Structure 1
Amino acid sequence: MFVHVGVQMECRERHLLIAVDLSFTGAEPRFEAVDDSGVYPLNDRYAAECGYTFGILPLQGFLELRASYLSCHTDNKVQQLFVFFLFLFVWKILTEMAMLGVTYALNKTCSPTLPWAPREATCEANYMEVRFCMKCIVLVLSTSDWQVVLQRDGVVLPPLNLSEASKQGYVFDLTNGRLVFRTPYGQPDSFSTEVISLQVNGVPVEVVHATLFSRQSWVVLMVDLVAACSMRHGYVIWETPEVLHPLVSSPHEAKVSVGINGELLDEPVAEERGYIVEKRNSTFRIAIPYNTEGGYRKSLVYGELYEFYLFDLYLEQITAEDDNVDTRLRFYRTLATPLLPRPLFTENRTVQEEHTFTVYLGSVPADVRLAAVHLNGRECTLPFSNTSSHTITEVVHPNNTHGYTLEVPFDDPVFSKEDAAMQHRLNISFTLMVLPENEPFSSQISVMALTDVSPPTFDATCSESGIGFKLDHRPFDYLWEIGIGSDLLSSELAAQHDYIMRNDSQSLQLFTHGYQYKNITLKGFFGTFEILVRDPETSAVQSSAVKTCPFTLSVVCSTDGRMTVVADLSLAIQGRGALGRTHLIDRYCRPKESDDTRVLFSFPLNSCGSTVKVRLLSPCRVAIQCTYPLAGLHRLFSRYRFESEAAGVGSIVRSNHSAEGKWFSNVNAPL
């Protein structure tokens, strides 16, 4: 319920909640409690002693106060009506040089929605509060009759009257049949202990042990009081022992209910939101998912962008004692996650045909806003002017994030005239701000686009021993792949096929003799070699470099197992027309062509009396041979077939020769 502009008050089970919009408070807002005896400023110490908890919640944008129904200055009407009077002081800004202090009177009457249990305790963020039903004792004794003894580490300290105890921060109140004991955390006479279970580490517990007593003639009344609260400062997992202290609760079965922001949730609702409440031996473990409803998320700049989550956990633990009286224990704890990296992502969505850079910046949290964009070093503040050719559009997503789409045409003034006509490069720096602190950080991306770009072009030359290719590198040649047949050109491929290749920052050079043979005659033949230029994404051939060169024939060994040889036999055989009558070992293998000095034979390797040897030994006077690497040999006349990856190396041997190793050789000797 709103009682003033920017001020909301709401009655909860055991406290009044006041939330004040931070945009309404100005600088240094403060609360004051009011009763018939005066006005009491609520500083940190006094608030903890008297049952008030307050703090600024920047994620929610509120200043929040929780006031216990049994707080010091609340009018308690027989435990059924609780009347609160408070002042809220804020500064109102009139001008840049002037402010006005304004005090707002706040009042609220609350009735508990849940009946009071005989024993109740609350573990607030800054104090512990224990409540007992003591109607019979209060009827015969006044507050001035009581004294208190504190115990720490087994040592009993000297007794104090309640006024002296109050000066030390221990508050006792006997009113309307109920005893209230309240103490801030960290008191000199408090002590810490650990409750151990078998499956979890020890859970730290802060304990204050006080014994309240009164002597009336021959009657001594004593009340043993223990305030104990779990001090586990978890992130999104919180633990509390089932038995905080032997004098607080018994080892009977306990029931735990959880909620958030001061409201308990029904068990099905808690399960639907992902809460996990489990008991491991003697310890309750509560786990809360990051994205649960009612939690708060915050961005933070720590060099880079991070995020963390806050949860105002509310937990109720009910224990049935031996006397069939329930003890209710309530916890209020703010849980926080550690800092979690929150990277943004950038995506290049440019379509070159549109001649416009399109870049998307995404996964931007709701509390982060884009403040400026630097394009090639030039700052462009937001919003862009109507005269600029570049635009930016915000894209909102349902998961509480948003993004930005930046569009910059290729002809935008941010590109200098010195830029290459075919190349446009855009360096983008997004400057973002985390709200409301206005903490800046940046995200960068560099994109490049090419216009009217042609595939690489090779220069090809012929020499006596092979075909050479040369490519002068351009900055954008990486956009294509260079291949030989179906294989990508690499140093490994060149070594495998005996190509000579050199590739440096200036050029690519390739020399090869492994070409296709065409039109073989006595005069020679034509060898052809082809280099392919492909699109790396589709493997489609964009262009090719083909070169055909004439060569003088000696021995050609084809990949399909055919030998073609031109041999000069003028020194061995004399007489006109005698060369045409020469033959190989098989007398029916005659030359395809001959002249006065040379003959041309062409025949399959497994014919004409040829021999196949893995280890070659040739006693022949004149022999011709083809040599193939075994590694590239797929078939060796299996079913009269021969198949090799590469052409063989041919030679004419005119003297005794031996060679050995991992080679297959075919030898033929003419008569």
Structure 2
Amino acid sequence: MFESGRVQCRDKTAGDGAVGQSVTSPQSCSVVGCAGCSVPSANSDWIPTGFFLFVWLQSDYNMARFGNILLWSLMAAVILSVDTRPNMKLNTQSSSGLRSDCVGNLMRLSLDKALAVGNELEVQAVNGTQHIVLTPRSAAQCGYSMESDPWGNTRIYSSLLGCYVDNKGDRIFNVGLRLRIYSSQSGVVSHDVAQTCSYTQWASKAILCDRNYMEVSGFIADAGAKGPAQDVKEGNNLPDASGAAHGIWKLTFYTPEPVAMVPREAEQAGYGLMLTSTRLVVRSPYNTAEATSEEVGGVPMEVIRVSAYYQTPHGLNVVNMAAACPTGGVLFINDVISWHVPRRMTPLVDGSFEVLELHMGINGKRLDRSQMVTRGYTLSTTHQHIVIEIPVGSPDGHFKSHAPDYQYHITYSVEPMLEVLWRTTGTQDDTRYKVLFPITTPLMPQLPHFQENTVPEARVFTVVLGTFLHDVVLKNITFSTGVLTVEEGNARGFTIQEHRYKNGTKGYSLSVPFDSDVVLKKNPELLVTTYFLPLAFGFVILPEETPFAHKVELQASLKDVVLPTTTGTCDQKHFYITVKYGSQGNNFQAMVGYRHLNPEMAEEYKFQENGTHFSLVLPYDAADTAFELMKTDSLRARVDLLLLDHINNWVLADLYLSCTFPFTTTTCYPNGTMTATAVKVQSVAQLVPSRLTLKDQSCKPVFSDDRFALFSFSVDSCGTTRTFFDHYILYENEIGLYYNDKKGLYYNRGVANTSPIDPPYRQTISCYYVVNETQTFAVGSKQRLYEPKADISSGQLMVQIRLAQDSSYQLFYQAEDYPVVKYLRQPLYFEVELIESTDPNLELIVEKCWATLDEDRTSVPSWDIIVDGCENPDDIYLTVFHPVVSDSRVLFPSHIKRFSMNMFTFTKDQAVLKDEIYVHCDAVICDTTSRADGLCRGQCVQPTRQSNARPYEQKGAKRTRRGTNSTRQRQISSGPVELTSG
């Protein structure tokens, strides 16, 4: 019913008597002690001098196997004692960090962490002049327990019925302890503590549940008194001296089967036995073989039942005793610890009873009502349970940090006490029941909170991380460049500070400038810089040095980019370019012309750099310049410089520097020889200079490269003309390309010849010669043998398809309007036009049109719209052709065809494949003066035509193209047109 609230620590080598502390998983205890040794009773003369209990706090830390969970252990070891310093006798009011007091039937000694932290503690019981070292086994057997928090604050409890307590008639109790603190720096320091306690509130039976033992004592009657003891009349033999050392003859434990032991056997099993003047005491460690685990009211409990036979002057008496201690019954609900103890202890109570007293305490000491209210504690009863509720975080407990799986967690520990006095109905027998019950909450995840206080304009990252318990220490921070300790970070110019808060927690702050090398940068926009600071804070938990980390990434954006600037000048032969860096230095890629500036280019162009600028010097005819305009005596050249962001390819700066340089194109020689230089300018980018000729196309360049062509010829050759003037003669020729070359050799192979749209190359060259002599020549003529005629050749005619906004065909969608959105079955108005032709004898015929899902005209699936010049008869929504008449825009109606169709979409299994379509057409241009059969008869005028439509077909085959001497075919597309549902 209840979760386990306590796990008892046991010595696996020393048997069942180890000193332990009550903890909650994942904490654990480990004990190394005196294996198999026999602990003396109070009357024994055996004293283990020269040995002591060695106690320290250990972190059983195994990263690989246990996931960095801190295991606190209370360690005990027997080692040789070497006393290097004199004893120091301290009274109970000592201010040196030791405080002792009496808490009911216990003596409590508190040690401040200043004494124990970092040291080794030995506890000895004072028995007159003897000092007995307490081992874990003997501590549980003799009524001693110890509890330490992780920082060394320690409490030692001694039962007033303990082995080595000077008992004065069960009323006055003198308790003595010697503490020996071992330090590697100061040797050994001893503290003697003596405390006298007066306690008279003994009940008929008293049960004490401490962290490492159960104790039950009962009142015994003397020869003339009546009490719970019973006379034994059977003929049992009296025990010998060895068996009656305590006045106790034997014990019978019930498991429930009876198990009999003589005192020596009981002591060897870890039990403590004692007879005082009025009481018989039995003390048992937890988890002995004779103990049983029972559930009482849903609460797990450990129970021991025993009958003790003891000797009196008048014979043997027997006392029946039982102890029951809870091992669970704790619930954790909404930051409240709820501890349930059975109201009716069935192992201890047979009939009805009356509760006389009910008390709550902390650390063994009772609290009054006002103290409970102040702390928020409640003590209540239900039909089955006594319930104590304690808020998590109350001042009587303590928090502890943990880091399982490197994640920050905390636990809260507190040690409540419950004390109950009840009386069995109809008798005078009463029972005082007292439980000290350490509780630790389960691990509670505690995600550190970070608050970013960065002000971008200040150019400093600032973050506060917290909160943490006081046992957490920041050791280092991992940046993008590596790990820095706190000291190294502050030395680098960062600000790392610890902040302590009033509630005892702490936090850490960090400030890092934007300009630090640990800050990463990128530019999401041209003028904006985004700064990133990835961090991993490395913490350790004291005192066990358990590590964990917390990652944080800070980000801030600032419009702080200063772009580079460019300037340029020219002289008679060179371009001079200077670039001034911006705020990001030379973090860019320079392009000169169409090439990225590389080391070879930098050397050729005399690259110089000084940290804030770089400069280039380019000859006007360098490979990366462009020629814009050539005249007879000059050449205008241009150099383009682009500075590009190498990540986003943004243009950070550009320079287009154009200058005119002296340049001689034609040279006239006295011997009648002319030389001329042709230059490839940017307007004829596809020109191949080697294919230029003079008027006589057999006269080709004597030298050429990719930019120049040099001609040398005499004035009476190569088709040179001459014109006579009064005193000089003008010789003229022309360098150019001629488009009637059937072989198409004048432009680069693989590049479409766009003539006559592209400008032709024509360069006129001339020479003037002064006339100093006149001669007369006879000129004759003869008739031609044949009339000149034109050759059939190829050219280019351009066709376009456009989507009109309505049936008036006055407004059309532009490129930026696509995709055009239409409803299902809304008409689409298309116009196909032959452009840039003024020949009235040409007619445009739309041969076929089809729709596809993609821009690729050969993709599938597809749907025929126009087939063999006519609408697709298999379409339930037929395509409609519209007449075209002359108007202010349409000069030649035969150059235009118009049709409309309804918007549709492709589907498969009733599902829309894609909500947009592309329309493609094949058009034929016909010569109306020489019509042939087939399509050139006119748009859709084939009465015997059979449909070749293939509706919604997977068109994978190539479309065949008709060809006649009187037609030229063009391919055009339009789209996408997107379907909308409204």
Q: Give the shorter-chain TM-score range.
A: 0.5 to 0.7
CA contact (8 A) 2:805 2:812 kept: yes
CA distance in 2, matches of 1:180, 1:168: 16
Matched, 1:45 2:137: yes
Summarize the Cα distance change of 1:400–1:386 in structure 2 as closer, same or farther, 3 Å threshold.
closer
Structure 2 residue runs of 5 or longer lacking an equivalent are 1-91, 230-243, 332-336, 562-644, 651-800, 834-839, 841-884, 906-914, 922-938, 941-946, 953-977
* Cα distance, 1:419 vs structure 2: 11
Summarize the Cα distance change of 1:516–1:16 in structure 2 as closer, same or farther, 3 Å threshold.
farther
SS in 1 for 2:492: coil
Q: Say which of 242, 252, 259 aligns to 2:343.
A: 242
CA contact (8 A) 2:538 2:550 kept: yes
Residue correspondence of structure 1 range 207-286 to structure 2 within 5 A: 207-214=304-311, 221-232=317-328, 238-247=339-348, 250-252=351-353, 254=355, 256-266=358-368, 270=372, 273=375, 282-284=384-386, 286=388
SS in 2 for 1:49: helix
**If the length of structure 1 is used for normalisation, what is the TM-score?**
0.64
Q: Which moved more, 1:62-71 or 1:422-431?
A: 422-431
* Cα distance, 1:91 vs structure 2: 1.9
Summarize the Cα distance change of 1:265–1:628 in structure 2 as closer, same or farther, 3 Å threshold.
farther
SS in 1 for 2:138: helix
Q: Which residue of 2 aligns with 1:56?
A: 148
Provide the aligned length of Structure 1 versus Structure 2.
533
Q: Which residue of 1 aligns with 2:852?
A: none
Q: Which residue of 2 aligns with 1:120?
A: 206
Matched, 1:108 2:205: no
* Cα distance, 1:24 vs structure 2: 1.8
SS in 1 for 2:814: strand
CA distance in 2, matches of 1:366, 1:72: 40
Q: Say which of 368, 389, 394 aligns to 2:493.
A: 389
Summarize the Cα distance change of 1:37–1:179 in structure 2 as closer, same or farther, 3 Å threshold.
farther
Summarize the Cα distance change of 1:648–1:253 in structure 2 as closer, same or farther, 3 Å threshold.
farther
Q: What does the per-residue CA deviation read over 1:292-332, in whole Å, with 9 as the maximum and x for residues that have no partner?
A: 33122111233313332222121123323121543110011
* Cα distance, 1:337 vs structure 2: 2.6
CA distance in 1, matches of 2:302, 2:359: 20
Matched, 1:69 2:160: yes
Residue correspondence of structure 1 range 366-515 to structure 2 within 5 A: 366-383=470-487, 388-414=492-518, 422=529, 424-452=531-559
CA contact (8 A) 2:827 2:902 kept: no
Q: Say which of 69, 81, 85 aligns to 2:172.
A: 81
Summarize the Cα distance change of 1:284–1:78 in structure 2 as closer, same or farther, 3 Å threshold.
same
CA contact (8 A) 1:557 1:564 kept: no
Matched, 1:527 2:634: no
Q: Say which of 438, 444, 450 aligns to 1:340.
A: 444
CA distance in 2, matches of 1:476, 1:18: 76
Q: Which residue of 2 aligns with 1:184?
A: 285
Summarize the Cα distance change of 1:566–1:339 in structure 2 as closer, same or farther, 3 Å threshold.
closer
- Report % sequence identity: 24
CA contact (8 A) 1:20 1:63 kept: yes
- Greater strand percent: which structure? 1
CA distance in 1, matches of 2:555, 2:487: 25
CA contact (8 A) 2:499 2:506 kept: yes
Letter in 2 for 1:299: S
Q: Which residue of 1 aligns with 2:423?
A: 320
CA contact (8 A) 1:514 1:647 kept: no
SS in 2 for 1:3: coil
Residue correspondence of structure 1 range 622-633 to structure 2 within 5 A: 624=900, 627=903
* Cα distance, 1:184 vs structure 2: 2.7
Summarize the Cα distance change of 1:521–1:196 in structure 2 as closer, same or farther, 3 Å threshold.
same
CA distance in 2, matches of 1:185, 1:39: 26
CA distance in 2, matches of 1:158, 1:594: 125
CA distance in 2, matches of 1:82, 1:51: 14
Q: Which residue of 1 aligns with 2:961?
A: none
SS in 1 for 2:415: strand
Q: Which residue of 2 aligns with 1:498?
A: none
SS in 2 for 1:29: strand
Summarize the Cα distance change of 1:288–1:250 in structure 2 as closer, same or farther, 3 Å threshold.
farther
Summarize the Cα distance change of 1:475–1:366 in structure 2 as closer, same or farther, 3 Å threshold.
farther
Q: Which residue of 2 aligns with 1:541?
A: none
Structure 1 residue runs of 5 or longer lacking an equivalent are 455-471, 478-512, 531-548, 550-554, 569-573, 575-589, 600-620, 630-644, 666-671
Q: Which residue of 1 aligns with 2:112?
A: 21
CA contact (8 A) 2:207 2:433 kept: yes
Q: Say which of 286, 294, 303 aligns to 1:206.
A: 303
CA distance in 1, matches of 2:371, 2:554: 48
CA distance in 1, matches of 2:456, 2:517: 18
Q: What does the per-residue CA deviation read over 1:262-308, in whole Å, with 9 as the maximum and x for residues that have no partner?
A: 23344675477565666676454555443233122111233313332
Summarize the Cα distance change of 1:244–1:138 in structure 2 as closer, same or farther, 3 Å threshold.
farther
CA contact (8 A) 2:354 2:424 kept: no
Letter in 1 for 2:127: D
CA contact (8 A) 1:121 1:131 kept: yes
Summarize the Cα distance change of 1:71–1:364 in structure 2 as closer, same or farther, 3 Å threshold.
same
Summarize the Cα distance change of 1:277–1:591 in structure 2 as closer, same or farther, 3 Å threshold.
farther
SS in 2 for 1:87: strand
* Cα distance, 1:409 vs structure 2: 1.0
CA distance in 2, matches of 1:353, 1:476: 27
* Cα distance, 1:203 vs structure 2: 1.8
CA distance in 1, matches of 2:115, 2:413: 23
CA distance in 2, matches of 1:239, 1:36: 42
Q: What does the per-residue CA deviation read over 1:1-32, in whole Å, with 9 as the maximum and x for residues that have no partner?
A: 65251212222122111122343245331121
Q: Say which of 294, 308, 311 aligns to 2:414.
A: 311
CA contact (8 A) 2:827 2:903 kept: no
CA distance in 2, matches of 1:377, 1:594: 69
**If the length of structure 2 is used for normalisation, what is the TM-score?**
0.45
Q: Which residue of 1 aligns with 2:295?
A: 195
Q: Which residue of 2 aligns with 1:10?
A: 101
* Cα distance, 1:86 vs structure 2: 1.8
Summarize the Cα distance change of 1:76–1:474 in structure 2 as closer, same or farther, 3 Å threshold.
same
Matched, 1:132 2:203: no
Letter in 2 for 1:62: N
Q: Which moved more, 1:10-19 or 1:439-448?
A: 439-448
Q: What does the per-residue CA deviation read over 1:369-412, in whole Å, with 9 as the maximum and x for residues that have no partner?
A: 11222322333322457763321233444454332221111212
Summarize the Cα distance change of 1:252–1:528 in structure 2 as closer, same or farther, 3 Å threshold.
farther
Residue correspondence of structure 1 range 634-649 to structure 2 within 5 A: none
CA contact (8 A) 1:206 1:228 kept: yes
Letter in 1 for 2:353: H
* Cα distance, 1:180 vs structure 2: 3.1
* Cα distance, 1:115 vs structure 2: 3.2
Summarize the Cα distance change of 1:441–1:2 in structure 2 as closer, same or farther, 3 Å threshold.
farther
CA distance in 1, matches of 2:649, 2:396: 53
CA distance in 2, matches of 1:319, 1:155: 29
* Cα distance, 1:65 vs structure 2: 0.8
CA distance in 1, matches of 2:821, 2:496: 66
Q: What does the per-residue CA deviation read over 1:86-130, in whole Å, with 9 as the maximum and x for residues that have no partner?
A: 211112444xxxx42222221122234x83333321111122222
Summarize the Cα distance change of 1:292–1:203 in structure 2 as closer, same or farther, 3 Å threshold.
same
Summarize the Cα distance change of 1:514–1:433 in structure 2 as closer, same or farther, 3 Å threshold.
farther
